[in-house]
Amino acid sequence: MVSLNRRSVLKLSALATGGFAGAASTSSGATAASDATWPGFQYDSANTGYVANGPTPTSGLSVERTYEVANQSQGSPVIADGKLFVTTSERSESNVPPKFYAFDLADGSVVWTYEGALEETYSLPVSPILAHDGLVYMIEEGIGHLRALDQDTGEHAWAAEVGRRSIVHEPLNDVIFCSGYGLDAKTGETRWHTDHFPVRSAAFAAGSGAIYYEESKPDSNQQYLTAISSADGELLWQYEASWWGSPTATADAVYAPKDGRRVAAYDPADGTELWTSKELGYEFLASVAVKDDTVFASYDTVIALDASDGSVRWETNVEGQYSSYPTPVVVDDVVYVPRDPGIVALDARDGTVLTRFEMSSGETIAVGDDALYTGQRHIHRVTGTGGGEANLVLEMTGDTAEAGGEATIDYILTNRGSAEATGLQGYVYRPSSDWTIEEAGAFTTLGAGETATASVTLAVPTDARGEYTFDGTVESESGSSATARCTVTVEPANETPEAAFSYEPSEPVVGEEVTFDAAAASDPDGTIVQYSWEFDDGSADADGVTTTRTFDSPGDYAVTLTVTDGEGATASVTKTVTVEQTPFGRWKEAHLETATRLDELAVSNFGAAERASAANEAYTTAVDDGRLSRTDATEAVQRLDRGLGITEDVFEYTTDAPELSTNEFDLIGEMARPVLDTTLELAMTAISIGKKLAKGAGLGTKNVLKVAKSKAFDAMTSLLSAAFGNTVDVASEVKTKGDTIVSKLQEGVYETVDQMLEFKEQLLDELVESVSASLQYAMEQSLLFSPVVSEVYPDGTGVSLTDGLAVFYARLSADPVANAGLDGTMAGASTAASDASASIQSEAEDTQALIADAKEFNEEYSLSTAIYDLFETPDSDDIVQTLVSAVLFLAGGVVDAFSTGGGYGALVKISVTHHLGLWGIQAGDPL
């Protein structure tokens, strides 16, 4: 245990509850009348004898005033509305009738008196009196009358002839019970009557709709504790016992003297005996007082009993004589007991004798107006000091805390005195300065009888373990103080669990079940009680040490495991699971991507993506149906993709060059156009020169023009032969169209050179289309000479790129492959694809160079403008000279430019290579 070595101040705020103002609550729930301070025997209708927040003089006691009466006072005095009400006994032998007094509490003067009837044959006392709702009630036992008088004037309110018995007021039904009659408290009207007749001299108790009293059967000496209903007088229960005395009622039990020696407790619901106390003394007849959970009795000794089981809490021997009914009264935490001579005050908590005051006291004590009232012949007002002091009691409670966390200590402060405690200051004594105060409440004031709670929160050192003792003190400015002690138990702080998991397979693919295992997760100081999995693929979360998932698509997926230990601490870990596509899936994706690129490269929609998508779906269905193994389907789609790769190479290598087009027919035209354009201009030049010569020219000019004309025709013929070979005879068509253009020029049809050029473009388009068709046919015929191609295309059709692909896809479609399998090997198919792509690249580069050269000549050495100028300004020698020079230069160089090959031959070779590559892929063997 750590020793105390630190005192820290707590500033705590007031959290007081309740307060004393007029009427006070009783243990039974019954209350004193609103205008009464001490309304009857033992204070309230339940006879509890307990007053909260009343006067508690414990030192310097003295008789401040005596209220003198004509005869001996009888029963308990009553205090209400600033008055003291006292009855005196009847003495018939002295011819002294009973008398009822109302004294002014302040000065002791008599306010009014009421004199009862004198019964000549009896000398009888007047039973206990009662004050309620502006009336005071008394019994004239000599004549058996219950009488109600006005508290202020003593005027008669009503009377009822009911017999010579005690009285009690039951507040729930506002009934005055006397001698077996239930009377209306305001009018005296009889509401009901019971045959269960009460004993004359014993007081009654009432509360919660019931009346409890001693009953004695007229034909026997047997006594009963009887309970009747205050609503109709019906018997509720009876308990047969030999006892004598007045009961006390609470919500939990009815207490009464039993067999003249003990106290017994009975269940208020059915009269079952709950417990019986130890023997208190012979002929114990006095009523008890009850405060909260303690029963107080007085006879040989003053004793405090536990209200739940009758066990003794404390017992104090008080010297002095006692009467037959030494009834105790409890005010706050002070017990007052009549003892002859005088009054004894004890601490209700432990039985300590606080003071003894010698005087002529009666059997009962009344409390009110800051004084005690008692006496035998006369009533004395007893006052003193010490009752106005605060009496602080402190309780401390500590909780269980974690090291490094917070600990809370509650200060529960009660003021058991009758004065307010002010200027309160609280202190806590910590085990060490390592315990720092983080937050503290505060007490400032605390009223008499009040209880308040304030808390202090301390930071627990991280290395603290075990039990630690804290002492606390609360002091008031008047010097009252209270101390207490509590223990705080420190446990090691809960350590955070560690989240960890693995998964198998470590490189999952689409459609493959993945198992996630959190067996590696741990808690260093406890047990993991919950495993929670979260997946970001849109699937539901899961719980448990293991779980499984199947991912439908490739990608990176975040998987989070959260573990929770028995103390509620959590930890999480997230891993990224990369899900790869299956080989089958990857090749389907690659196949579709290649096809999409083809469509993007084509001038018009090539339809490759649509064809690829249909093939992928067909293979997927064949696999799902079990008609084709996933391995064969994967290889088949891979071959389709490699075939499209060859076609893509044709497009790629030609599309990147502005000289080439993107489909085969247009490609022929693109290659032929610059050649045809140049030869058309050469033809126009030769024809124009001929027409110029026909008009006449000088000898020198004539010779030059003849040479130029001849060169132009020769160049045209050579260029056509180099570009197209002997397959296509287009020279005559070129000459015809050239003559048409020049004739219109000669006729003056063109107003500008642009008009002539526009017409020339129209005729050039016709030439290109004609030559392209001829070349396409020639290519098809040439392809058919290849044994392999003729086998693939037996009908002599489908030699375009599109048709070639159609045949390729037909032969590698799912159904034929499912029925007959694949030819050759994938390695052979890959080699065929690679060889074809390399050849296509070389051939495309040669073709690109050829077309570029032709365009360069066509653009740089255009003769159209010079031809137009020749006819518009026929006498210009400069124009003639320019035209002749251009013709001679062009004619001299164009044949050399195209003599390296290419042209038609290159186109044929690209197409043949493409088709043979597709055939090799399908066959699984390079050709």
Q: What is the pLDDT of residues 864-881, one digit of tens each?
A: 887 887 777 766 666 666
Domain 32-48+68-174: which topology? Lipocalin (2.40.128)
pLDDT at residue 604, rounded to an integer = 56
Q: How far apart are CA 610 and CA 613, in angstroms?
A: 5
Q: How far apart are CA 883 and CA 872, in angstroms?
A: 14
Of 638, 721, 740, 636, residue with least CA distance to 898? 721
Omega within 30 of 0 (cis) for the link into 341: yes
Which region among 95-104, 408-417, 486-495, 501-510 has the lowest average model confidence (pLDDT)? 95-104
Omega within 30 of 0 (cis) for the link into 505: yes
Q: How far apart are CA 693 and CA 695, in angstroms?
A: 5
Domain 392-491: which topology? Immunoglobulin-like (2.60.40)
> Is 70 exceeded by the pLDDT of residue 722?
no
pLDDT at residue 736, rounded to an integer = 92
8 Å CB contact between 557 and 576: yes
Q: How does strand 135-140 pair with strand 130-132?
A: antiparallel
pLDDT at residue 660, rounded to an integer = 41
8 Å CB contact between 338 and 363: yes
Q: How far apart are CA 569 and CA 567, in angstroms?
A: 6
- Architecture label for domain 194-276: Beta Barrel (2.40)
Largest Cα–Cα separation, the chain: 197
Domain boundaries, the chain: 32-48+68-174, 194-276, 288-385, 392-491, 502-579, 662-778
Q: How far apart are CA 300 and CA 318, in angstroms?
A: 8
8 Å CB contact between 14 and 446: yes
How large is the average pLDDT for residues 348-368?
Answer: 82
pLDDT at residue 214, rounded to an integer = 85
**3-state percent helix, strand, coil for the chain, nearest multiple of 5:** 30, 30, 40
Percent of the chain with pLDDT strictly greater than 90: 35
8 Å CB contact between 304 and 65: no
pLDDT at residue 897, rounded to an integer = 44
Q: Do domains 194-276 and 392-491 have the same CATH topology?
A: no
Q: How far apart are CA 561 and CA 580, in angstroms?
A: 22
Question: Which has more confidence, 190 or 26?
Answer: 190
- Work out the pLDDT band at 712, boundaries 50, 70, 90: confident
Which region among 88-102, 612-626, 728-742 has the lowest average model confidence (pLDDT)? 88-102
Q: What is the pLDDT of residues 746-761, one digit of tens each?
A: 888 988 989 999 999 9
Total-model pTM:
0.45
Q: What is the pLDDT of residues 61-108, one digit of tens each?
A: 888 888 888 777 667 889 998 899 988 876 555 566 778 899 998 888
- Work out the pLDDT band at 900, boundaries 50, 70, 90: very low
pLDDT at residue 847, rounded to an integer = 64
Within 10 Å of residue 148's Cβ, how many Cβ atoms?
A: 22
- Work out the pLDDT band at 719, boundaries 50, 70, 90: confident
User: How many residues in total does the chain contain?
Assistant: 927
Q: How far apart are CA 388 and CA 40, in angstroms?
A: 25
Which region among 218-222, 299-303, 494-498 has the lowest average model confidence (pLDDT)? 218-222
The Cβ-side half-sphere exposure at 163, using a 13 Å CA radius, reads: 16
Cα dist from 66 to 47, 73, 105, 372, whole Å: 26, 12, 10, 12
Q: How does strand 528-535 pair with strand 542-543?
A: antiparallel
How large is the average pLDDT for residues 341-364?
Answer: 82
pLDDT at residue 19, rounded to an integer = 24
How large is the average pLDDT for residues 814-838?
Answer: 92
8 Å CB contact between 41 and 364: yes
Highest mean pLDDT among 68-77, 343-352, 373-382: 343-352
635: tokens are 């290889």
Q: What is the pLDDT of residues 800-812, one digit of tens each?
A: 677 778 888 988 9
How large is the average pLDDT for residues 163-184?
Answer: 82
User: Across the strands, what pairs with 296?
Assistant: 289, 304
Question: Which has more confidence, 700 or 721?
Answer: 721
Cα dist from 391 to 139, 328, 333, 434, 550, whole Å: 41, 21, 9, 34, 75
- Work out the pLDDT band at 555, boundaries 50, 70, 90: very high
178 Cβ neighbours under 8 A, 6+ residues apart: 139, 146, 160, 162, 163, 165, 166, 167, 168
pLDDT at residue 149, rounded to an integer = 93
Percent of the chain with pLDDT strictly greater than 70: 77
565: tokens are 């230990």
Q: How far apart are CA 101 and CA 72, in angstroms?
A: 12
The whole-angstrom distance between residue 474's C-alpha and the CA centroid of its chain comes to: 42
Question: Which has more confidence, 111 or 865?
Answer: 111
- Work out the pLDDT band at 2, boundaries 50, 70, 90: very low
pLDDT at residue 257, rounded to an integer = 85
How large is the average pLDDT for residues 36-49?
Answer: 84
User: Across the strands, what pairs with 103?
Assistant: 84, 110
pLDDT at residue 31, rounded to an integer = 39
Q: Which CATH class is domain 502-579?
A: mainly beta
- List the 135-140 sheet strands across, edge first: 130-132, 135-140, 145-150, 156-161
- Work out the pLDDT band at 471, boundaries 50, 70, 90: very high
pLDDT at residue 574, rounded to an integer = 96
User: Mean pLDDT, the chain, as a whole number?
Assistant: 80
The Cβ-side half-sphere exposure at 403, using a 13 Å CA radius, reads: 11
- Work out the pLDDT band at 322, boundaries 50, 70, 90: low
How large is the average pLDDT for residues 24-31?
Answer: 35
529 Cβ neighbours under 8 A, 6+ residues apart: 564, 565, 566
Which region among 124-138, 217-231, 641-655 has the lowest average model confidence (pLDDT)? 124-138
CATH of 288-385, picked from 2.40.128.630, 1.20.120.1200, 2.60.40.1890, 3.40.309.10, is 2.40.128.630
Of 444, 393, 635, residue with least CA distance to 13? 444
- The two counts, helices (H) then strands (E), for the chain are 14, 50
Within 10 Å of residue 168's Cβ, how many Cβ atoms?
A: 27
pLDDT at residue 468, rounded to an integer = 95
Question: Which has more confidence, 725 or 623?
Answer: 623
